[in-house]
Structure 1
Amino acid sequence: MPEKPAPDEKPEQAAEKPAPRVLDPRSLRGLAHPLRIQILRALRHHGPATASQLGERLGESSGATSYHLRQLAAHGFVQDDPTRGKGRERWWKAAQEGTAVDEALFKNPDPEVQGAVEVFLYEIANIHTQELNTYLGTRHQFPDAWSGASDISDFTLHLTAERQRELNEKIHRLIDEYTALTEQDAADTQRVRMHLHAFPQHGAN
């Protein structure tokens, strides 16, 4: 969620959306592992953590999370959080708030790059499914107002690739407007996740 402006920070500066990390072939190969993607997601959603804390959250050993944290750090996805921890306790935080895929990756002829693309996309799809299922299993824990505010919809359109790109960009711009809102002080504020899936289908008329 958007953070409040620091005391010496201008409001217009605070409202700027942080640039996501754009994946290239090297960084994609460094990230394209299910546990690394889960670790990075956990740090972005839940804040800084140690390898042991991440292992407990993700059901993995601290040795495994520690190894993959070092790999993520080598590719610039995570970094030390010097404001936390004492002595040998090492805290990690996400280095960026988001990730974007360079479209050139989809056309890269390197089989290793294509394999990494597949791992990355399938893991993101799995995460979306997990998040939705978690909400469905816990929706009774939220105030009644959220039952009507939540949305699980699907639509069928007939578009060219160019029109689909245009629609995606319009939706992203609209979401950006709401991303800039700072309502975390409101009593009924919840962190909201939105997934956008748009894809062609064979044999659909």
Structure 2
Amino acid sequence: MARRPALKKQVTLTDPKAIRALAHPARQRIIDELYSGSVLTATEAARLCGLTPSAMSYHLRALEQWGIIVRDASTEDGRERPWRAPARSLHISSRAAEGSSKVAAKAFVSTFTEPLLKDLEAWAASDRRGAAAGASDMAKDRLWLSDKEAAELNHEVRALLERYGKGRTPERHPEDAQARNVFWSILPHTQ
């Protein structure tokens, strides 16, 4: 089997058309799965999303076109090549979001907010919210920061997230670890 290249730190989308490629729930579900460390064939991805393998292959190739996902090394029998994320995280440039159409802007927002809302609803309904003190938390703060300070804070948070996520995949992680979604945003306050 071919050796898998090391993951880049991040993929950053700068083209509004690339953001538009995110505008489908199946694509968002697969991006979430692959950027969490999974490696999936089109058939496995289709099963996750309730689509046919043919329809899923179309979506996978569209994401590949923008470098959002890549084909992994061939399987032993060579019949179906799996897909993976080329990096540990996916970022969308604020410049791309500013220059995007309403459809692309909606895809940009929904890529991050729909999974967040789903996780928040499950968390609120769970009877395990307090199972481990501090293990699951939410916070909303307002800070008064210069652009330079906001950039520094963003850099520090990304470095911290990278430290905790480095080398961990669905197959490789501490025995007592569970998958946790982390959402981070630092946005200007609007009135």
Indicate the TM-score class for this superposition, using the shorter chain for normalisation: 0.7 to 0.9
Partner of 2:33: 42
Deviation at 1:136, TM superposition (A): 4.5
Q: Structure 1 pair 50/186, CA: closer, same or farther in 2 (3 Å)? A: closer
Tell whether 2:81 aligns with 1:77: no
Partner of 1:144: 131
Structure 1 moving runs of 4+ over 4 Å: 135-139
Q: Which range moved further: 96-105 or 129-138?
A: 129-138
Q: Deviations over 1:153-199 (max 9, x none)?
A: 222334444443333333333333434487x6643223333212333
> Structure 2 length as normaliser, TM-score?
0.72
Q: Please, which runs of 5 or more residues in structure 1 have no aligned partner?
A: 1-13
Report 1:52-131 matches (<5 A). Answer: 52-84=43-75, 86=77, 88-108=79-99, 112=101, 115-131=103-119
Partner of 2:175: 187
Tell me if the contact between 2:11 and 2:87 (Cα under 8 Å) persists in the aligned partners: yes
Partner of 1:33: 23
Tell me if the contact between 1:50 and 1:91 (Cα under 8 Å) persists in the aligned partners: yes
Aligned to 1:165, which of 135, 145, 151? 151
How large is the Cα RMSD of the aligned pairs?
Answer: 3.4
Tell me if the contact between 2:97 and 2:108 (Cα under 8 Å) persists in the aligned partners: no
Please tell me whether Structure 1 or Structure 2 has the larger radius of gyration of its CA atoms: 1
Q: Aligned pairs, how many?
A: 183
- Which letter maps to 1:190? Q
Q: Which range moved further: 47-56 or 166-175?
A: 166-175
Q: Structure 1 pair 80/199, CA: closer, same or farther in 2 (3 Å)? A: closer
Q: Deviations over 1:139-165 (max 9, x none)?
A: 63x9933x4422122223344444433
CA distance in 2, matches of 1:131, 1:150: 11
Q: Please, which runs of 5 or more residues in structure 2 have no aligned partner?
A: 1-5
SS in 1 for 2:182: coil
Deviation at 1:137, TM superposition (A): 4.6
- Which letter maps to 1:18? K
Q: Deviations over 1:83-118 (max 9, x none)?
A: 43635434222222221223332443xx54x64233
> Structure 1 length as normaliser, TM-score?
0.68
